[in-house]
Amino acid sequence: MSSNGILSARKNQSRNMTSLVARTLQISGEDVTIRLEPSYWDGLDEISRREDLTADELCTDVQERVKRQGRRPAGRTGDGSNGVSLANALRVFIVGYFRQAATERGHVRAGHGKGDPFLSTPFDSAVAGDA
């Protein structure tokens, strides 16, 4: 299945929010299914577009860097308990990528720094009474 293939999405009925979406990517020549929140998939797709890479290529690069740093990817360690999962490595990479791109000017344009950290985020439209 291609990197654009969405396998499943679960709804968190108590919050009416999509939790995890599974996609199958071709990583180092193997089909690997990864589950991430939709906003992380959006971020990965945006990074891929900006860097002129496929999601498969980007994820392969992240996995290779995890290996080079001496961390073992979960699922490749036998029981999977002593490694860093690719999904978690991708979350850290995506946040790090956008943090490096964030500027003071960008934060001002987004309305950040005025006591409402949820402004311009996926939680912006959530009503406090819904919690």
Give me the CATH number covering residue 98: 1.10.3990
Please report whether residue 98 resides in a domain.
Answer: yes
Taking a C-beta distance cutoff of 8 angstroms, is the pair 3, 54 a contact? yes
Q: What angle do CA 59, 61, 64 make, to 5 degrees?
A: 110
Question: How many structural domains comprise the chain?
Answer: 1
Question: For the whole model, what pTM was predicted?
Answer: 0.70
CA–CA distance, 29 with 39 (Å, rounded to integer): 26
* Mean pLDDT on 118-125: 75
Q: How confident is the model at residue 71 (pLDDT cuts 50, 70, 90)?
A: low
H helix intervals, 29-84: 38-51, 55-68
Q: Is residue 80 part of a domain?
A: yes
131 in any annotated domain: no
Count of H-run helices and E-run strands, the chain: 4, 3
* Residue type at 12 in one-letter notation: N
Is 105 contained in some domain?
yes
Q: Are 42 and 36 in contact (CB under 8 A)?
A: no
User: Sorting pLDDT into bands at 50, 70 and 90, what band is 125?
Assistant: low
Of the pLDDT bands very low, low, confident and very high (cuts 50, 70, 90), residue 67 is confident
Q: How many CB atoms lie within 10 A of CB 45?
A: 15
Domain containing 111 equals: 6-124
Name the most confidently modeled range: 16-25, 57-66, 67-76, 97-106.
57-66
Instruction: Specify if 12 maps to a domain.
Output: yes
Q: Is residue 1 part of a domain?
A: no
